[in-house]
Amino acid sequence: MNLAADRAEAPSKARLRLWLRLLKTTRGIEGVLRERLRTEFGTTLPRFDVMAALSRAPEGMRMSEISGRLRVSNGNVTGIVDRLVSDGLARRVPAPGDRRAAVVRLTALGRDEFERQAAAHEAWIDELLSGIGAEASGRIDRALDALAEEETV
């Protein structure tokens, strides 16, 4: 029996524990966000994500761009966009330069509604991550950023 090896944890175990922690943290926070979006705004996380993508694209986005950006299926995006359109929050307009194609844009009402949701979302994140100081926050951000650049994820 190798007691020294038992005491010095294998790096792969430390990484596995970090992974499980990352997963638990993000799932926990996502659960809180999901619940608050539902109770405060009667909306869902995928719908919020679609509006967030559209809010950064004043020229509009094709359906395929939205689903590509969000890694959700075309079918789900279609349902979400249909609902946004019928709620008056988005509309379909001819694509600039290709009038046979359509892009989706937020309406003025949609932009206002998303701004309110985004401000609440930012405040919730600020509250939920308040246990992480500014310095630690920056360090974690840089470590994960370096990771993203190395990977082909």
Q: Binding residues for its own copies, per CB under 8 A?
A: 11-19, 21-32, 71, 122-123, 125-126, 128-132, 134, 136-141, 143-151, 153
Q: 149 in helix, strand or coil?
A: helix
Provide the minimum distance between the beta carbon of 92 and its own copies in the complex, in angstroms, as a whole number.
28
Provide the minimum distance between the beta carbon of 124 and its own copies in the complex, in angstroms, as a whole number.
10
| Contacts (Cβ under 8 Å, ≥6 apart) of 45 | 30, 33, 34, 37
Burial of residue 124 (number of CB atoms within 10 Å: 0-12, 13-18, 19+): middle
Provide the minimum distance between the beta carbon of 96 and its own copies in the complex, in angstroms, as a whole number.
28
Provide the minimum distance between the beta carbon of 91 and its own copies in the complex, in angstroms, as a whole number.
27
Provide the minimum distance between the beta carbon of 151 and its own copies in the complex, in angstroms, as a whole number.
6
Nearer to its own copies, 101 or 125 (CB): 125
Burial of residue 66 (number of CB atoms within 10 Å: 0-12, 13-18, 19+): buried
Q: What whole-number distance in Å separates Cα of residue 99 and Cα of residue 112?
A: 27
Nearer to its own copies, 16 or 101 (CB): 16
Q: What whole-number distance in Å separates Cα of residue 110 and Cα of residue 112?
A: 5
Nearer to its own copies, 97 or 150 (CB): 150
Nearer to its own copies, 17 or 38 (CB): 17
Nearer to its own copies, 59 or 151 (CB): 151
Angle at the Cα of 129 from the Cα atoms of 124 and 133, rounded to 5 degrees: 135
